[in-house]
Each structure stands twice: as structure tokens, then as C-alpha cells.
Amino acid sequence: MKNQMYLFVFCLILISCSSNSLEDRAKKFMKDSIVVNFKDPSSYQLISLKIDTFRIKDHIENIKTSLLDSSLTKLLGDSLDKKHLTELSKLNQDSIENLQINVRYSAKNSFNATIQDGLTFFYYPQTNRFINPN
């Protein structure tokens, strides 16, 4: 029990130390991959950046919730979800599946008006990649 506590504290310290570099990398990804496609990239200003962590156990809970929703289960079928759930259950429940990064920003639109907007992209630590689903 004491060893688990030390491991938990060590992981918290590691995450808190690496979160600044992840935040910097997320900002760089935003500027290099998304802002360059804006009508006026020079007008871009970051308002906020929030990082949410999703673990394997969160994914399992989402699947279980969808299986309980009978209308969704009838529509999509549950055999794939049950198979996926079985595979996920074999993994470490506390391992991080992905990090969701929510960004709020302001920029000028095509009418030269300053607007505020936001977007969400993901970071997958297993592959060390950012993915923009938009």
C-alpha cells in the first residue's frame, strides 16, 4: 500500500512537471498546424488552453453507458462494443488513453472583424502525436 502511494505521488510529480512542456507543445501545434490556415494568422491570440486527461477506465465507462442505452444498442449493435470492452479491460485501467486540448482564441475573420472561437484537438501519448479531428 505504501509503495502504491509513492508511485502515485511520483506520477503526480511527473505529470505536473511534464504538463508545462505539453502545454508548450500544444501551443506550437496550434500555431504550426492550425493558425497558418487562418485568413489573418497574425491576428491570432490565445485566450485559454485547457488539457483534460482521459484514461482507459473513462473509455470503458463510456462504452458501458452506451451499452445501457437500449436505443443506441439497437441502432448500432453491441457486439463490437462488447469485444472492444473486453480488450480494454485487459489493459491498465489508469493508463492515459489521450489528452483532450480545448483552445479558446481570438482572430480576425474574412470581414476583418475580431471574433472569439475555440477548437478541440487531441494528444495521444502512446504515439506522441497531436490529432486535429476537424
* Residues 57, 83: Cα–Cα separation, whole Å: 15
Q: Closest Cα to residue 24, out of 105, 101, 104, 124? A: 101
What digits encode the pLDDT tens for the residues 39-88? 899 999 999 999 999 988 887 787 777 766 666 556 655 565 667 677 77
Confidence of residue 10 (pLDDT cuts 50, 70, 90): very low
Q: What is the mean pLDDT of residues 12-36?
A: 78
What digits encode the pLDDT tens for the residues 96-124? 889 999 999 999 988 999 999 999 999 99
Every domain of the chain and the residues it spans: 22-131
- With a cut of 70, say whether residue 1 has pLDDT above it: no
76's CB contacts (< 8 A; 6+ apart) are none
Question: Ramachandran region of residue 46, left (φ > 0), alpha (ψ -120 to 50) or beta?
Answer: beta
Amino acid 12: pLDDT: 46
- With a cut of 70, say whether residue 6 has pLDDT above it: no
Amino acid 9: pLDDT: 46
Residue by residue, DSSP assigns 40-103 as: SGGG-EEEEEEEEEEEHHHHHHHHHHHHH-HHHHHHH-SHHHHHHHHHHHTS-TTSEEEEEEEE
Amino acid 106: pLDDT: 95
Q: What is the mean pLDDT of residues 19-23?
A: 78
Amino acid 65: pLDDT: 76
